[in-house]
Structure 1
Amino acid sequence: METKAKRGDLLATLYWTQSIVERRNTMPILANVLIECQRGEIRLTATDLEVGVRGHVDGEVAKEGTVTVNAKKLYEIIREVPNEQVQLKRLENDWVEIKSGKSVFKIVGMDAREFPQFPKIDSKGLSTTPASTIREMIERTIFSVSTDETRYSLNGVFVEESEGGKIRMVSTDGHRLAFEERVLGSLGLTKGVIVPRKGLSELKKLLESGEDGVVSIGFRENMGLVIKDKVELFMRLIDGDFPDYTKVIPKGNPNIAKIEHHELLQALRRVSILSSERYKGIKMEFADGKVSISANNPDLGEAVEEIEAEYKGKPISIGFNARYLLDVLTVLDSEGEVDIELKDELSPSVIRKTGKEGYLYVLMPMRL
């Protein structure tokens, strides 16, 4: 194998492999990137068996072949080489020579036959959707995915199709639930699927790069497949049953507070400084025309702030985890107002963006 390519093109494609390659060394080959030079094109592939990425690089192929080398070291070398032109050549025993200008590196590789197969992606069966819409939906749900490994089916975002070409994304960790519904057209889903958190993080990163444009998405058996520009991404879906989230979403909470979004966000940030490090508990007292936010920590002291609110309902004093409130307020557009719908001190509350359909956030109260 022998090939030449531009440093910038190699670097841009290798960037996608860096957060995917396996760090734990359970299988040494998973720390490597597969380099394939065939029919005048260069392909770079990395996987940890759960998430995989493949990028295409423009270059000159002098001799076809395949090899795998350490993804991190290759990225570091290409980043530091002096010239824009880089030559990659496979030597005996799967060693790889990297030449650029007067610099020559020789690094240990591994036989490409040991590298796991990348699933065949047929772009014809994929649906195209606006990249910016998918990115926003991921942003507004991924933060409430459970990090508890024992609750396997909650370690991802549930994606399903509903009527009228609408796509739903739902995530929960048992303390809160984020729900987003947008009109995107069909993704070819016959039933709901659970997309893992790592796969969604990589997809979000991919969607944030370059032009917004469109992205091709599809699902096959236990795989989620995505193509954007010259990068292909696959994710192994979580095999489990997502809980019936419709039973968790309260309907008709009678006490509603309308609060200026930015003002609430800033007040919560200030007051939560004195909440306990571990539980981040704050108290919110709702009354006519105002909301009082307070934190009390025996080790540090106390903080109280009062902000204006349009409130209809009985006076309620309720505890919340400040971090869970800050998470949702940070991902929503800070212009305008938010509605907090309450039932009582012990029941879940619903947070929505005033006048915006399709998104809601359910938050369980805390006992303080």
Structure 2
Amino acid sequence: MEFRAKRGDFLATLYWTQGVVERRNTMPILANVLIEASKSDVRLTATDLEVGVRGRLDAEVSGEGTITVNAKKLYEIVREAPEETLQLKRLENDWLEVKSGKSVFKIVGMEAREFPQFPKFEKEQLSTVPANLLREMIEQTIFSVSVDETRYSLNGVFVEEAGSGKIRMVATDGHRLALIEREIGSLNLDKGVILPRKGLAEVRKLLEGGGDGVVSMGFKENMGLIVKDDVELFMRLIEGDFPDYTKVIPKDNTQVVRIEKDELLHALRRVSILSSERYKGIKMELKQGQLSISASNPDLGEAVEEIDMDYQGKSLVVGFNARYLLDVLAVLETGGEVEISFKDALSPSLLKKGGDDGYLYVVMPMRL
């Protein structure tokens, strides 16, 4: 195997492998990137068996072949290479030689035969999806995914068809729930699937700065695939049943507050400075025409901020983990109002973005 490639192209393609390769080293080959040189292009693949990525780049191939080498070290070498042209050549005993200008690197590699296979998808199994809507759906749900590995079915985002060409994404960790619905066309799903958080984090990275383009997306058995330009990303779906989220969405919250999103976000940030580091507890007190946000910590002190607003309901005091409110306010588009509806101090509250019927966020109160 031997080929020449532009440093910039090689580095850009290699970049996608960095977040995917296995860090824990349970299988040494999973820390490697698979390099496949064929007639006119080179493909780079990395996987941790749960998430995988494959990118292609143009190259002058003088000898076809395959090899795997450490993904992190290869990335560092290519990033620091002095010239714009790289020459890569496979040597005996699975070593890889990288030349750039007067620099020569020889890296220990492993035979490609042991590298896991990339799943095959037919073109008919893929649907076209607007990149900006998919990115918005991921950003506005992924922060609610549970990090508790004992609750395996909550470690991802639930995706299902909602009819009329709409797709719904739901994530919850038991303390809060984010739900978004957007018209992006059918994904040919017979039933809902759970996409792992790591896979979606890589998809979000892939879609950053993508503008108004489209991506291809499809599902087969226990795999999901997303293709954007020359990069393919697959992920193993989480097995198990996602809980019935419709039961936790409040239907009878009658105390409604409308407030400028940015004003609430900044007030919460200021007040939560003096809340406890671990629980971030803050108190929201609703009064006629006013919302009072306060935090009290015997070790640090106390903070209070009052916001004038149009509220004519009865007085109510509710405790929250400030982080749960800050997380959702940070991912909603800047500007505009949010609507928060309450029932009482012990029932879940419902937050919606003004003018957006396709998004809701449920947050459990906290005893203070």
Task: Give the CA deviation at 1:61.
Answer: 0.8
Aligned to 1:91: 91
Task: Give the CA deviation at 1:125.
Answer: 2.0
Quick one: which amino acid aligns to residue 267 of structure 2? A
Quick one: which amino acid aligns to residue 174 of structure 1? G
Quick one: which amino acid aligns to residue 328 of structure 2? V
Equivalent positions of 1:128-147 (< 5 A) are 128-147=128-147
1:59 matched to 2:56? The reply is: no
Summarize deviations over 1:50-98 as a string: whole Å, max 9, x none.
Answer: 0000000100110110000000010000111111110110000000000
| TM-score (norm. length: structure 2) | 0.99
Contact persistence 2:121–2:220 (CA under 8 A): no
2: CA distance between counterparts of 1:345 and 1:209? 42
Contact persistence 2:18–2:72 (CA under 8 A): yes
1: CA distance between counterparts of 2:122 and 2:197? 24
Contact persistence 1:54–1:233 (CA under 8 A): yes
Aligned to 1:333: 333
1:218 matched to 2:218? The reply is: yes
Equivalent positions of 1:1-368 (< 5 A) are 1-368=1-368
2: CA distance between counterparts of 1:3 and 1:324? 51
Quick one: which amino acid aligns to residue 77 of structure 2? I
Which structure 1 segments of 5+ residues have no match? none
Task: Give the CA deviation at 1:211.
Answer: 4.4
Which structure 2 segments of 5+ residues have no match? none
Task: Give the CA deviation at 1:354.
Answer: 1.4
2: CA distance between counterparts of 1:121 and 1:62? 29
CA separation of 1:210 and 1:358: change in aligned 2, threshold 3 A: closer
1: CA distance between counterparts of 2:69 and 2:212? 32
Partner SS for 2:188: coil
2: CA distance between counterparts of 1:124 and 1:110? 35
Quick one: which amino acid aligns to residue 151 of structure 2? R
2: CA distance between counterparts of 1:152 and 1:94? 39
Partner SS for 1:17: coil
Partner SS for 1:195: strand
Contact persistence 1:40–1:61 (CA under 8 A): yes
1: CA distance between counterparts of 2:210 and 2:35? 24
Contact persistence 1:350–1:360 (CA under 8 A): yes
Contact persistence 1:257–1:312 (CA under 8 A): no
Quick one: which amino acid aligns to residue 244 of structure 1? D
2: CA distance between counterparts of 1:326 and 1:114? 45
Quick one: which amino acid aligns to residue 163 of structure 1? G
Contact persistence 1:261–1:329 (CA under 8 A): yes
1: CA distance between counterparts of 2:79 and 2:356? 44
1: CA distance between counterparts of 2:24 and 2:18? 14
- Number of positions where the alignment pairs a residue of Structure 1 with one of Structure 2: 368
Runs of 4+ deviating beyond 4 Å: none
Task: Give the CA deviation at 1:309.
Answer: 1.9
2: CA distance between counterparts of 1:106 and 1:280? 51
